[in-house]
Amino acid sequence: MKFGVKNFDDEKFFDYFVGKADFFEVQAIRGNDYSYLQKYVEKGIPIIVHAEHQGFGVNHCDPKKERVNLESIAFSRGLADKVNAEFIIVHPGRIYDKDCSLAYFIKTFQKINDPRIVIENLPQSIDRSFFSPAASPDYIKYILDNLGCGFCFDINHASRSYGENSLGFEVFCKKFLDLKPVHFHLCGEKDNRTIEHINLRDSELDIELVKRILPCDANVTLEVSIDEKEVEKDLEFARDKLG
């Protein structure tokens, strides 16, 4: 099992984890200068690109945001070219109104047709302010069948979504695993009704369950804090508890 660290854009943070993390995951924020990533490429450190999501004004289900959506994914693909990224992780988006649709997302990404695209499962809305078309195994399977892309399984997003189902959490996770994820996201959590990237060591998440469901050859990004010392402790914890 391999473990990576994630940051939006912090050279000092990534420098700290050279020789410690197995890979880096970086958020591709339009306009930022990521030229410093080249030194990690030269060291042979794999880099995964995560495209902008709703926090950056992107919603791939919403045609009203077409310009920003396309600019965002173009920037991510360009960065992936520069760092030889195997994967570009994408949030499918949210449905807020009648203009938004999963069909629009699928049509857009069929045109983009980039084999590096990897779709991440998302949490369902707790307050019903939106609908997530990527919160269940059935929806993810539908997307994968239509795009022929890869799948990034976010265990904590699943933790917040499984309450919508009659299945137990482990069974729910195994339905996602049947879709053969090529990458994994993991963080700590105190309450599965909120998504906060807290440390694994402080988590209420059942680590033994996580160990049971993670494949032994999984590549796992730790989406924890951005405090270097704390993340380093979580890396050690993950390797000790999960393999």
* pLDDT for 194 beyond 70: no
Task: Examine the pLDDT at 195 and tell me if it is beyond 60.
Answer: no
% of the chain residues with pLDDT over 90: 80
Say whether pLDDT at 177 is over 60.
Answer: yes
Number of independent structural domains in the chain:
1
User: Per residue in 10-41, pLDDT tens?
Assistant: 999 999 999 999 999 999 999 999 999 999 99
CATH of the domain at 37: 3.20.20.150
Range of the domain at 62: 2-242
Percentage helix, strand, coil for the chain under 3-state DSSP, each rounded to 5: 45, 15, 40
What pLDDT digit, counting tens, does each position of 33-91 carry? 999 999 999 999 999 999 999 889 999 999 999 999 999 999 999 999 999 999 999 99
**Which pairs from 75-81 meet CB under 8 Å and 24+ separation?**
75/28, 75/30, 76/28, 76/49, 76/50, 76/51, 76/52, 77/112, 77/114, 77/116, 79/26, 79/28, 79/34, 79/37, 79/49, 80/28, 80/49, 80/116
Bridge partners, 220 (sequence order): 3, 184
Instruction: Decide: helix, strand or coil at residue 90.
Output: strand
Contacts of 130 (CB under 8 A, 6+ apart): 94, 95, 96
Specify the pLDDT at position 192. 55
The pLDDT tens digits for 148-171 are 999 999 999 998 776 655 568 899
